[in-house]
C-alpha cells in the first residue's frame, strides 16, 4: 500500500446462523454443535460511500420453494426477519452465488451490484440446490445495474493480485476458486491493517490456523482440488493479513 492509498472502514456482523456438529464441519472439530454466523460486512469508503458485503439470510428463501424451506430447517439455519440495518448504500458486493450470501438481493434491489460474471453464468445452469442457488433470488431487473468484477482493472498488492474495486488500491476483489464458481473475496486496506474477507474459501478459521481439514464444506464444493489449493495459499498469508471467513464465529471481530 502506498502513502496515497486511502483506507476503508470495515466491520462485520452476524445476519443469520447455521449450525452443525464439529466433527461434520472439520476433522478434529469435536462432538459439540458449532454455531456459525452468516456474516454480512459493511464497508465505508471515503469517496465511494457504504457498501454491503453479501446480504446474509433472508425470509425470501422460505417463499421460493418447499425444497429451500426444508433445506433451511435441516441445516438448522436461523433466518432473520428481514435485511440488516445499514446507512444508505452505494452498492452491494456479492462474493458468490449461494443462498446464504445473496438471499436478500430481491428485497434490497441494489442500485449497484458488484459480482462475478463467471458466478452469475454458473448460477443460471440450474435453479435448485445442486448449485446452491435459485433463480428467484435474483431481482428481475438487476442485470442492468450489475458491474462485473472481471471488468475492473487488475492490480497487485504484495503477494495478492486482484481487481481494483474503487481504482485506488484500497480494495481488491481476489479470486478464491474451489467452493463455488466465480467466488471472490475482498482484500481491504483499513486503519487497523490489511483485512481479507475470504467468504467461503474456508468454513472456519481453524482450518487455516490449526491445520484442521474440512469435511462437509468440501463435500459440497464445486472443485475440492481447487478449494484445497486456495486454502494452502491463504495459509501462507496468515502472517500478512487478518482473514475473515463468512461463517467463522471468532475471526469477524477484527483487532483494533
Tens digits of per-residue pLDDT, 88-138? 999 999 999 998 999 999 999 999 999 999 999 998 875 555 568 888 899
Q: What is the per-residue pLDDT across 9-42, written as a single tens digit (0 to 9) for each?
A: 999 999 989 888 888 888 888 888 888 999 999 9
Q: Give the burial class of 234: count Cβ atoms within 10 A of its Cβ; 0-12 exposed, 13-18 middle, 19 or more buried.
A: buried
Q: What is the pTM of this model?
A: 0.93
pLDDT at position 66 over 80: no
Architecture label for domain 9-245? 4-Layer Sandwich (3.60)
What would the mean pLDDT of 229-250 be, rounded to a whole number? 96
Distance CA 17, CA 246 (A): 11
160-164 vs 91-93, strand pairing mode = unpaired
Residue 216: other Cβ atoms inside 10 A: 15
193-199 vs 184-190, strand pairing mode = antiparallel
Q: Give the burial class of 154: count Cβ atoms within 10 A of its Cβ; 0-12 exposed, 13-18 middle, 19 or more buried.
A: exposed
Domains of the chain, residue spans: 9-245
Q: Are 247 and 37 in contact (CB under 8 A)?
A: yes
What would the mean pLDDT of 178-192 be, rounded to a whole number? 96
225 is written with which cell numbers?
A: 482440488
Distance CA 50, CA 114 (A): 13
Amino acid at each position: 500500500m502506498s502513502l496515497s492509498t486511502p483506507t476503508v472502514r470495515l466491520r462485520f456482523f452476524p445476519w443469520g446462523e447455521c449450525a452443525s456438529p464439529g466433527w461434520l464441519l472439520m476433522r478434529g472439530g469435536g462432538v459439540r454443535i458449532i454455531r456459525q454466523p452468516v456474516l454480512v460486512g459493511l464497508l465505508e469508503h471515503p469517496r465511494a460511500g457504504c457498501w454491503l458485503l453479501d446480504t446474509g439470510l433472508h425470509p425470501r428463501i422460505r417463499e421460493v420453494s418447499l425444497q429451500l424451506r426444508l433445506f433451511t430447517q435441516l441445516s438448522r439455519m436461523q433466518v432473520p426477519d428481514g435485511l440488516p440495518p445499514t446507512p444508505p448504500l452505494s452498492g452491494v458486493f456479492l462474493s458468490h452465488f449461494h443462498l446464504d450470501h445473496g438471499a436478500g438481493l430481491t428485497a434490497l434491489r441494489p442500485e449497484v451490484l458488484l459480482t462475478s460474471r463467471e458466478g452469475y453464468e454458473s448460477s443460471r445452469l440450474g435453479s435448485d440446490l445442486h448449485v446452491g442457488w435459485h433463480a428467484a433470488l435474483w431481482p428481475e431487473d438487476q442485470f442492468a445495474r450489475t458491474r462485473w468484477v472481471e471488468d475492473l482493472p487488475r492490480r497487485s498488492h504484495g503477494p495478492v493480485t486482484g481487481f481494483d474495486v474503487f481504482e485506488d488500491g484500497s480494495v481488491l476483489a481476489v479470486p478464491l476458486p474451489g467452493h463455488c464458481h466465480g467466488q471472490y473475496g475482498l482484500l481491504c486496506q483499513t486503519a487497523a491493517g490489511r483485512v481479507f474477507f475470504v467468504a467461503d474459501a474456508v468454513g472456519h478459521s481453524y482450518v487455516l490456523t490449526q491445520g484442521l481439514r474440512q469435511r462437509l464444506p468440501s463435500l459440497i464444493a464445486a472443485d475440492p482440488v481447487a478449494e484445497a489449493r486456495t486454502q494452502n495459499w491463504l495459509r501462507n498469508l496468515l502472517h500478512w493479513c487478518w482473514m475473515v471467513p463468512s461463517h467463522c464465529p471468532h475471526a469477524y471481530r477484527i483487532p483494533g
